[in-house]
Amino acid sequence: MLRKIRYILAAAVLAGVILVCGGAAEKLKHYLAEETAGHISAGKNKEVTVVIDAGHGGLDCGKIGVNGAEEKKINLEIAKLIKKFLEEDGVKVIMTRETDERLADHQVDDLEKRVEIMNKSGAALAVSIHQNSYTDASVSGAQVFYHSKSEQGERAAGAIQAGLNELNPQHSKKIKANDTYYILKNTEIPVVIVESGFLSNYEEAEKLMEAEYQEAVAAVVAEGIKEFVF
Ligand SMILES: [Zn+2]
């Protein structure tokens, strides 16, 4: 009699184990199916965020061109066009500014705020738009900067520089590592600075003020960004 009860108990326990295992297996199957589906849809409709930072603004004009061009205005125009091109391809864009205003009264605080936006964004990349200037007025061409310890920053810089060089093959430049620029040093996500041209070069300063050229620059920068993020 006692043995019979033991058998019954053992059978009941075994049945319970099978039931639990069966349920777990079903759950695992379901989980795997969801995981796979998740990966497939992530590949197709991957939501990607990029931060576009138009350098300077408001009282801080940035560099002043030999033709009187204000860097802050050119930066903003190009940044807005990059935003447009990226959004057309489904990229979510966060702008650090969309008007002629800086983010704080002092430059240090302004830069700090820009970095804060980048670090909180969860973005795949941040791109800061600036214009260059040099004592030798004959120097021209666009150049992209990245932090030497950021492999991703270097890759993004390379993709963007390639497009800029195609746009201006006669003044093509190489990407450059920089570990002192505040934004490159303090941003935790991949970040590059695009200096789209020299305002100290008359010809380039004139071109940078033209809407058509701003659009061409923005288009190749956006292409490079997409190559990096997709
Ligand atoms: Zn600048």
Q: Is the pLDDT of residue 16 over 80?
A: no
Alpha helical stretches, state H, 147-189: 151-167, 182-186
- SS3 of residue 193 by DSSP: strand
**Confidence (pLDDT) at 21:** 42
* Segment 145-188, tens digit of pLDDT: 999 999 999 999 999 999 999 999 999 999 999 999 999 999 99
Residue 17 CA to ligand 1 centre (angstroms): 68
Residue 131 CA to ligand 1 centre (angstroms): 5
Residue 106 CA to ligand 1 centre (angstroms): 15
Alpha-carbon distances of 33 from 80, 120, 124, rounded to whole Å: 41, 32, 27
By CB neighbour count within 10 A (0-12 exposed, 13-18 middle, 19+ buried), where does 25 fall? Answer: exposed
- Whole-model pTM? 0.81
1 pLDDT band (50/70/90 cuts)? low
**Confidence (pLDDT) at 8:** 53
**Confidence (pLDDT) at 28:** 45
Average pLDDT, the chain: 88
Residue 145 CA to ligand 1 centre (angstroms): 12
